[in-house]
Structure 1
Amino acid sequence: MRLRIRRTTWPRPALILTDTPHPACPDCGGEGGHNRDYGDYETGEYAGTEWDPCHCWDETRSRVLLPLPRFPRRRRDSTDPWGGAHTDEPPF
């Protein structure tokens, strides 16, 4: 198991401790899996890409170390002198 610290934003902002793919894996070359393009059955056109994870890595193995705070979004209305419309009036 090769651990690293990452920042995640879903389902909430946090620092997590997670596993990494084996760097010398002969199947994936340390990338953790392969992208596989697929097409529409009837037309043969490109329809998307799927991710096939490698056996050397479990991408679901992670632990939350530190939940991070969520900062409220600022409203952008005309009464806000820093984020709203430009005004010539002094703030006080």
Structure 2
Amino acid sequence: MIRLRIQRTALPRNALILTDTPRPDCRDCDGVGGIPHDYGDHTGEYAGTEWEPCPCWTEWRMVLLPLPRRPRWLRRRTNGRDPWGPGGYSDEPPF
């Protein structure tokens, strides 16, 4: 059974997507959606983790609505040209 939810994603572009949700009462993955498997290299040291998806969850996604980008004039300036300063407050008088 598919449990749908709406989620926001930022890669490759901001969008609202429809995705599946893992079963919260699944005994295999405890509602996480997959089972992590740690593995080591030839010396026995930790080398990473592989993710095995649980059968209670499908990893498909469908884009519902691409979200618009903010116009350049609304983006926050961080290169010192911001009139409000780094804290968001101006030290100039209001007149």
Aligned partner of 2:67 in structure 1 is 68
Q: Percent identity?
A: 68
Query: What value does the CA root-mean-square deviation take over the aligned residues?
Result: 2.5
Shift of 1:23: 2.0
Aligned partner of 2:20 in structure 1 is 19
Following TM superposition, the consecutive aligned residue runs of length 4 or more in structure 1 with deviations greater than 6 angstroms are: none
Q: Deviations over 1:26-66 (max 9, x none)?
A: 2112211111111112x11111111111111111x121112
Segments of structure 2 that go 5 or more residues without pairing to the other structure are: none
1:58 aligns to 2:58 (yes or no): yes
| TM-score normalised according to structure 2 size | 0.72
| TM-score normalised according to structure 1 size | 0.74
Q: What is the aligned length?
A: 88
Distance 1:29 1:78 in 2: 48
Distance 2:46 2:80 in 1: 47
Distance 2:58 2:23 in 1: 10
